[in-house]
Amino acid sequence: GVSYVGTEGWGKSTASVGVGEMLDGARARSRSAERFDELVAVLRLDALRGHETRGLSDGELRRVQLAIALGTEPRLALLDEALVELDVVARAEFLALLKRRGTACLYATHVFDGLDGWPTHVVFVEGGTVARVVAGEVSSESLYRRALGDLEPRFDAAVVVEDDLVVEGCVDRWAYDPSAPPALSAAAISVPRGARVVLVGGNGAGKSTLLALIAGARLGAHGALRVLGRDPARDNLRADARVSL
């Protein structure tokens, strides 16, 4: 399936739930209790089992959310600035776990520290479209330099296409309002099985919108997207993918 952890609707709920109760429920739904326990250990959640969600910090709450979202071992993880609240060690260990497990990821972030050797592809989103793609290792330094405009990368303009894809298609147009300029236009993307794709771009470039459309969390796009062979706008991926607390 698909798991989407994003910034939309993110925040503390007025309700409070026991962390241990939530983790036990997620463990029961997981494919492997042993692998779920490994995820909990990486996110250092055992110490929080006796806590209520209302009393957690933003970083602690995010770690619980990630455990629930990734506990099902989805074929595709959509992470929209989902690790920004994590400390450096927790973020590095979580990304390393995703790499070991071969989980296909689309990860939008402005935090490039610790990404050396992690992505299989880097997608630059500019002005609401996929401007360029690079396959292979990219250093954190080069990502920062590119974000600052100090480096003009010689990347392939075409999106990498392979036979076994978890995401494929193009958003021809999507706007917050029909009369507004499009937030996305001619944004084509293809994600091979097991790929770890980092989405890079400035504020308002369209990264979050693209992830939300892939997750089915936003509707109304013109174009054709297929996620695990399904249409995210029609096949109820939103209900499957969204994890909130």
Among 27-36, 129-138, 193-202, the minimum mean pLDDT is found in 129-138
Higher pLDDT, 239 or 112: 112
pLDDT reading at 122 higher than 70: yes
Structure tokens given for 27? 């463990």
Average pLDDT over residues 107-129: 90
Report the alpha-carbon distance of residue 228 to residue 193 in Å, rounded: 10
> Distance between CA 90 and CA 97 in Å, rounded?
11
pLDDT of residue 164: 77
Higher pLDDT, 10 or 19: 19
16, 21, 87, 13: which is closest to 49 by C-alpha?
21
pLDDT-derived band at 136, boundaries 50, 70, 90:
confident
Q: What is the mean pLDDT of residues 202-225?
A: 90
pLDDT, tens digit, 9 for 90 and up, residues 165-196: 899 999 999 998 888 899 999 999 999 999 99
**CA pair distance 115, 38, nearest whole angstrom:** 21
Q: Is 156 helix (H, G, I), strand (E, B) or coil?
A: strand
174 has which bridge partners?
184
> What is the reported pLDDT for 239?
46
Q: What is this structure's pTM?
A: 0.87
pLDDT at 47 over 90: yes
Beta-sheet strands, E only, within the chain: 2-5, 76-80, 104-108, 121-126, 129-135, 165-174, 184-192, 196-200, 222-227
Provide the pLDDT for residue 49: 95
